[in-house]
Amino acid sequence: MRSCCLICQQSWRQEADWLNVFYARPIPLCTICTSQLKPLDNKGCRVCGHPGVDFCSDCRQRSGSSEFTQRSLYPYNPFVKDVLTAFKYRGDAKLAEVFSRELYLLAVSNFQKWDLAACIPLTKERLRVRGFNQAELLAEHFTPAPLLERTSPPSKQSKSSAAGRRLNTEHIFSCSDSKQIKGKRILLIDDIYTTGATLHAASEALIQDGASSVKGVTAARALLKNS
């Protein structure tokens, strides 16, 4: 049968193999695009899964701040960057399917169980401009709850002050309902892990409000030059 690739839009002949038999709805990706999506093995850093190291430099610097651990599907290479950019900025929500099921399987295989799942929220301003939260589309298989709220970006004045920069207020989160999260194991979902500052800040907000543990999964992650 002929299929149209979700990423490159090329039409190609999809062989009827065992994958198509077992998956009721196979993700339509051509063999070229599939070959560019090489999953991370996530056997590296004990906190963030960065490949090739036991404890990466970013996580060492942050050591002791929380017990948060996270895993990612793919390295944030130029191909994955293009796909996520199309998904995020051109509003091509259909592309979420490239990641959503694999992201759920990644969470199950690394963290087995959680009580509540939550997406990293956008600021109100960014949500207004973009019209959707990309993390919510990626979390299709998780049934996420709105556990977190994000403050607005800092004003120009606070951004320019040393204190404002130190606080990095773009990463301040608060919990919408601390009763709901008390004693619960929370799983966070986001699109990209770069320095980890966003996910760690969200995790700390949840732990401070009584969550028993916080884990995270992202579709892609940046790799450090010197880890």
Interface residues toward Zn ion, by CB under 5 A = 5, 7-8, 30, 33, 45, 47-48, 50, 56, 59
Give the Cα separation of 56 and 194 in Å (integer).
13
Element (H, E) at 45: none
Q: Which of 23, 40, 8 is nearest to 219 (CA)?
A: 40
* Closest to Zn ion by CB, 87 or 142: 87
Nearest alpha-carbon partner for 74 in 113, 35, 47, 29:
35
Cβ atoms of residues 184 and 115 within 8 Å: yes
With respect to Zn ion, which residue has the nearer C-beta, 50 or 215? 50
Distance CA 192, CA 168 (A): 18
Q: Which is nearer to Zn ion, 47 or 117 (CB)?
A: 47
- Closest approach, Cβ 70 to Zn ion, in A, equals 9
CB of 178 to Zn ion, least distance (A): 28
> Smallest distance, Å, CB 199 to Zn ion?
11
**Cα distances (Å, whole numbers) of residue 68 to 13, 53, 187, 196:** 43, 17, 10, 10
> How many Cβ atoms are within 10 Å of 170's Cβ, its own excluded?
15
Give whichever of 116 and 220 is closer to Zn ion, judged by the CB atom: 220
Least distance (Å) from Zn ion to the CB of residue 102? 16
For Zn ion, the closer CB: 30 or 187: 30
Residue whose C-alpha is closest to residue 222's, from 100, 84, 117: 84
Measured from the CB atom, is 60 or 124 closer to Zn ion? Answer: 60
Query: 165: which 2 tokens?
Result: 């920069």
